[in-house]
Amino acid sequence: MSRTLTDIGAEAAGCTRCRLAEGRTQVVFGVGNPDADVLFIGEAPGFHEDKQGEPFVGAAGQLLTKVLGDVLGLDRGDVYICNVLKCRPPGNRDPQEDEIESCTPWLVEQISSIQPRVIVTLGNFATKFVLQTQQGITRMRGRAYPWHGRTVIPTFHPAAILRGGGEKSRQFGELREDFELVRDTLAAMDPAPGSAPAPAWSPAPAPSPAPVQAPEPPPVRVPDADVAPVPEEQLELF
Ligand code: SF4
């Protein structure tokens, strides 16, 4: 019998596969519905996540929760939320290659267990990792990508939105548009796909995926006088 998500999380709680085990308070495995249709993947736990043992807490988590409710009509318990890395890198530095390699099996097991229909990658790092692309989030967002029998929809990391002006920023509107794409993608899918699992995934290098749908031309927006766009380099930080 295959292991449940709880079993996998219990095993991960004692993981010492990489150096991040030394500085963490606890493993931040993930939270939410083990049978969720939508899986959100971020980069790595931050200070508060490390302390509380839950991904996306604090202001960035609140923003995620708000858009989730406003656009999808869901709360955190309806979806599953995790990160590529399960332990906090010291000082929130970038994850290193060997840490990613060590931690990836946990994410693979999570995806295999949850069998989400849509995966939302939050930010630059998770998007590049999952889709194996060098393209930044500002180019990748706004589209849906076929991925091992599922659909991946990249969007900005909520922390990047907060640092760049929050709900007044143009990018917050784009974040909402991406969530609308998630909603519409789910609505267009057949009812529950049954028990046949989607093909397994491993993060081997692959050519950049083609989007499912041709992107609409970006809407012409007239920015509010007091609303400045978030600088692109800021959004690429996460
Ligand atoms: S980051 Fe991942 S691989 Fe490294 S110790 Fe934590 S759970 Fe294990």
- Cα 135 to Cα 125: distance, rounded to the nearest angstrom: 10
Q: What is the pLDDT of residues 85-134, one digit of tens each?
A: 999 999 989 999 999 999 999 999 999 999 999 999 999 999 999 999 99
Instruction: Decide which of 15 and 196 is more confident.
Output: 15
For residues 94 and 129, is the Cβ–Cβ distance under 8 A?
Answer: no
* Position 191 pLDDT exceeds 80: no
Q: What is the CATH number of the domain that holds 169?
A: 3.40.470.10
Beta-carbon contacts of 235 under 8 Å, excluding residues fewer than 6 positions away, are 124, 136, 137, 138, 156, 157, 160, 164, 171
pLDDT category, 139, cuts 50, 70, 90? Answer: very high
Q: Establish whether residue 19 lines the binding site of ligand 1, counting it when its CB lies within 6 angstroms of any ligand atom.
A: no
For residues 123 and 94, is the Cβ–Cβ distance under 8 A?
Answer: no
Q: Is residue 202 part of a domain?
A: no
Please count the structural domains in the chain: 1
Q: Establish whether residue 68 lines the binding site of ligand 1, counting it when its CB lies within 6 angstroms of any ligand atom.
A: no
CB-based burial label for 209 (10 Å; 0-12, 13-18, 19+) = middle
Q: Average pLDDT, stretch 193-221? A: 51
* Position 201 pLDDT exceeds 90: no
Q: Establish whether residue 20 lines the binding site of ligand 1, counting it when its CB lies within 6 angstroms of any ligand atom.
A: yes
* Position 200 pLDDT exceeds 80: no
Q: How far is CA 80 from CA 30, 202, 204, 209, in A?
A: 7, 20, 24, 24
Q: What is the pLDDT of residues 167-181, one digit of tens each?
A: 889 999 999 999 999
pLDDT of residue 224: 35
Tokens for 76?
């955190």
How close are the terminal C-alpha atoms of the chain, in Å?
Answer: 38
Mean pLDDT of the chain: 86
Q: How far is the CA of 180 from the centre of ligand 1 (A)?
A: 33
Q: Average pLDDT, stretch 52-56? A: 97
Among protein residues, the one whose CA lies closest to atom 2 of ligand 1: 103
- Cα 122 to Cα 221: distance, rounded to the nearest angstrom: 23
Q: Average pLDDT, stretch 199-228? A: 46
* Position 195 pLDDT exceeds 70: no
Strand partners, 153: 120
Q: Establish whether residue 86 lines the binding site of ligand 1, counting it when its CB lies within 6 angstroms of any ligand atom.
A: yes
- Cα 109 to Cα 91: distance, rounded to the nearest angstrom: 27
Q: Is residue 214 part of a domain?
A: no
Domain extent, residue 129, equals 26-190+226-235
Q: How far is the CA of 18 from the centre of ligand 1 (A)?
A: 5
26, 27, 107: residue to mutate for ligand 1 pocket, most atoms within 8 A of CB:
27
Q: Is residue 215 part of a domain?
A: no
Q: Establish whether residue 18 lines the binding site of ligand 1, counting it when its CB lies within 6 angstroms of any ligand atom.
A: yes
Rounded to two decimals, the pTM is 0.84
Q: Is residue 31 part of a domain?
A: yes
CA neighbours closer than 13 Å in the CB half-sphere of residue 11: 12
